[in-house]
Structure 1
Amino acid sequence: MSIDEEDELAQLRRRAYSPSADIASDPDALRRLMELEARATPTGPTPERAPAAPEEHLAPTEDEIPDAIPERPRFTLPRLRRSTVIMLGAAALVVATLATLLVVVQRVQTDPLQAGATQIARLAPDPVFEVPSSLTMGITGNVTAFEEFEGFRVISQPSYYDAEGAARCMTVWQPELLDTAGGGGFSYDGEFFMSTCGAGSFPANMTMLLREATPERAQTDFPAGTALQFVYDATNNEIVVFRG
């Protein structure tokens, strides 16, 4: 190994084993460290066989048989230092974490305008829930109800104004505050009974602020001042709930 390579190995070892080690984030430097570590591994000379004491009528050894097939040389890979193996594992963990974060971020960012908001739930379709007929008057099929969340229910339905069904609508309410006993109509004793539709690439969404006197807040475990947003995720057919 040349002097330059010895200096490079020393520098890489400092990056790998010092308190301020940073080589785990540099795959190229890590591979170079492994290469130089392998070349720096000492290999001692093969001990020569001591001459045997002369004896009469000794049987010929395998080395003295002229037709014997020479034994194939054995090559042993240099053993990696334990610290190098640890650094390799750390680098693999960093790569796996970054890949996982990319997948999670892509799934969380349903709406590009969720600045400062936190995703707290994803509501899947609930085929068991029976949607009140008074909420779907004039709609012919293709209505999806979603799982209950803090007393809220959400349905998505086709838009009245989009015959092709490209932009779906959604309705958010609390069944506890809905009264459908008056024939074909209904009454609602809360503040937030809303239907909203998507437009183009913008998904249907609804935002609310649960104040101290908000009737809907009494059905939840949220404190006064909690802001919620319900967003329809058409790609996964889910309702995403954000808390701001």
Structure 2
Amino acid sequence: MQRMTAAPDELALLRGRAYGPNADIHDDPRALARLRHLEDEERRAASHADAPVEVSDEEEDGTGPNAPTAAAPAAADVAADTTAPRRPPRRIPRAWLIVWAASVLVVAVSVGALVFSLASIRPVSEVTGATQVATLDQPLDTTGLDWFPEWFGPQSEVVSYEYLGLVVMRLPAGMYASEVECINVAIISRFTNNGSSVGYDGPTYYGCGAGPFPPTAPMVVDERAPDELRARFPDGTALSFVFDGERVGVFMGEPTPTPTPTPAPA
């Protein structure tokens, strides 16, 4: 008598979990053991069907009661259909897993280093407390300033502005620095022209731009400054001249209070 196997539905379900596109049976040891058990039973049933069976003369002639009909399929054929080899799920090579894990580690370390470096930067505030006190947008009238064309040349592209005895000169790119604009601040009364040469005897304040940063020339008012400037701002006042591409802004730093001296004990 042929041994009965498990329900086809259960076996088909387990095979789908083992050999299908979404195979997950490797995470379920009990289901995997059950699949192996059912497949072993199926193979034993197929082997039993293939074993030689003694038949009588009537059965050999096809007239006996146990003779197979012409339309009935052989048990071995049925077993062969149900035991067709299935391709097992492809395993990822160990070397690929190692490379993948290493790449994830490298990315994690890089991101961590970037975050740490950004977090370790000490912030510097750009707020200076400066107040704009003037806007220079009217070019200086150089009539009577015989030193100007001699200093920069008759065809000079320099644009100058006057502010309380100072001359603020916007210098074209390439004149003092390659491919960037600069500004220069000097004292008008310190230029001299003796007919053969032009000279300057005084402090100068200079600055150039870079990318989005505008040309900026800072200075501190002191005893060398013009009288007009010292009449407006006390000594020690910080000023900054900033060229925005069209005009020059003059900024004054927030005054720093001078501490009151403590009298010495008698």
* TMscore range, shorter length: 0.3 to 0.5
Higher relative CO (Cα under 8 Å, sequence separation at least 6) belongs to 1
Larger radius of gyration, structure 1 or 2? Answer: 2
TM-score by length of 1: 0.44
Superposition TM-score, scaled by structure 2 size: 0.40
